[in-house]
Structure 1
Amino acid sequence: MGDLNYRLDCNLPLQELLKQLDDHPELIQQYDQLSRSISSHKAFQGYSEEKLEFPPTYKYVKGGNAYNLSKEPAWCDRILIRGNCTVKNYSSVLETTCSDHKPVVADICIPCKKYKSVEMNRIANQIRSRLIVDDLDSVELDIPECVSFNAVRINEVQKRELVLTNRGSGNAYFQFVSRCNTVCKKWYRIEPLCGVIRPHSSCVVSVQILLDPRSYRVEAD
Structure 2
Amino acid sequence: MSLKIFVGTYNVNKREIDQDLSSWLFPTNSSITDKPDIIVVGFQEFSSFPSAFFSNSSYLSNASLSSNITQLGNASLSGGLIKHNVDEERLEHYSSLIERVIFANTRESYTTLVKSTFVGLALFIYVRDKSVTKWILNVEIAKCGVGPFWIGNKGGVGVRIVINANAIGVQETEGEDGTDNTSELVLCFVCAHLAPHSHNTYQRNQDFKSICERLVFSNIMYSENTNRDSAQEQQEDCEIMMTSMEGDSAPLLPSHNSKHQHYFTIYDSDFLFFFGDLNYRIELKEQGGFNNNNTLTISSLLDILRARQHQRIRACDQLAKEIIDGRVLHGFEEGELNFMPTYKYYVGSVNEFDVRQRTPGWCDRIFYYWRKRDELQGDPGGTAERSSPILLINYMSHPSYTLSDHKPVSALFVITPQHKRTDIKSGISNSPFKIDEHRNLKFAIGEASSIIVGCLWWLFGTGRGVRTTLIIGCVGFLVLWIVKKLT
Q: Give the TM-score of the pair, scaled to structure 1.
A: 0.48
Structure richer in helix, relative to its length? 2
- Decide which structure has the larger Cα Rg and report it: 1
Q: Give the TM-score of the pair, scaled to structure 2.
A: 0.23
Bigger relative contact order (CA 8 A; separation at least 6): 2
